Structure 1
Amino acid sequence: MQLLFYWILFLFGTSYGRLLKARHLQKRRAPSAFQLARLQRDYDGDYDTGEFKDGRGKGDDSLRRDEVVSDARCLERCNNRLNVGMDMVNAHMSFGSIDVPSVVEQHDLELFCLLDRQHSQCVDECGYAVQFNLREYVCKRRFNEMLEHLPCYARAAPVLSRHCRPRCGEYTPLQHTLPGFAQRCRQLLCDHACTNFILDKICPGEEAKRAAAFLLEFTRMQVDYWVRDFVRTHNISIEESYPSSCARLRCDDFTANNCVVRRRRARRY
């Protein structure tokens, strides 16, 4: 089961990598693929702990393995369809580790949301329930606000790429461990500090502040979900396990020295 999970992760990484065409406007992965990998991990964990094995013979185990392979192929078809559609979406990679869809215009955002909704429906037909989808934040609850910020993001994108990528690094796959979360949060701190600086220079004052706050609110929600879900599934204390770099994202001014970790007992990662 663990090998199957890593195969799914490899599939997601390579399939989205093929989308990065040699053109000025490049693409980055759709957020839902990350959550799909997590669902596969949870599914494999349930199987390995015996939830589906109790009272079954070897023949049933073999049948279950066949079903898992069939499910994986179903997920692969969903992602292949998503890849084809995403090739029509103009996007940039200027946000780095910030997972807000980096689309350029309203048409691109609408197409992104349509494709991701279809992807979620496809996943549901494969027998999975998406428990947490970042599309809900952007495409439903905050769609109009995202539209409002698109011109600012589009103007800043070339400068963000030149200025922030050398400083903070490119996007890398998330490792679902506490050290992995800590590393991602360190990169997010860099990306947000750099993005805030550039937006403030490129966009009008209040517009820049609102656009930066939108990105940060998205990141805070996402990181909090990662960590809380991890400590819940591993039955550990969040007070002792919340990475200090992730706690710093909760500060209003996380580039200043006055940002102190909220819980002194938190481990250092």
Structure 2
Amino acid sequence: MALRRIIGSIFTRGPLAVQSIAFKRHLPIGDPVVIAEAFDRWQADEIVLADITASAEGRLVSKELITRATQYLRTPLTVGGGIQTIEQVEDLLRSGADRVFINTTARKNDKFVGEAARFFGSQCIVAWIDVLAVDDTLRVYDHLTRSTLDTPLESWMRELEQRGIGEIILHAVHADGQMQGFDLGLAAYAADVAVPVIISGGAGNTGHFATVFRASEVAGACAGNLFSHSECAITTVKRGVLATTPAIRSLHSAA
């Protein structure tokens, strides 16, 4: 398996970065561009920026924000929020994003993922799946209606893979902001598809990354709240993980 990625995530509500707790509370934490620059200095392998209110408000994640964020970044940036058309994907890529992720539109338009993958290449198109644990069962979650869907998670992942998605991000809504560790049961779903799978939601310390890398086939692990404050920089986590497993990229000397 390729080296695993440690990814910094930034949730925004429009122009403001927020700390998300169980998808119910959102505490403002500042300028997402400043946070992205910090993640870049801390040698994140990737940055994911998600505008969590864009779809509900009928708008697109800010192209101006993406342009500002990528002006000085060396780290690849994946962005999403409110994407509904091929033209919007092109606009975001032209604004500086390396990849985009699709969530709601992938469910509402069964042709969109395939069209986007053919137009831009599968490597540019990522699926974001929100997942909620209900009575010990992991269910696909619709953040707009705040309800779970009937489609089994494994089936939905395989369908997205068949449509041409290049990667899947699984975000555990029930673990969001809890900092008690990644959901290892959710991470296990990485073995069900051939495309890379990223686990998100629940990271609270360095050990949580090492644990999920040892216990599953995830291609990377994503955290936001943990990295939003400098007392736990990405470099700190990388050093801790490297002490127990060679699964991730080594830090370069500038760190």
Fold match (TM-score > 0.5): no
- The TM-score, its normalising length taken from structure 1, stands at 0.28
Return the TM-score normalized by structure 2: 0.29
Query: Relative contact order (C-alpha < 8 Å, sep 6+): which is higher?
Result: 2
Q: Which has the higher strand share?
A: 2
Larger Rg: 1
Q: Which has the higher helix share?
A: 1
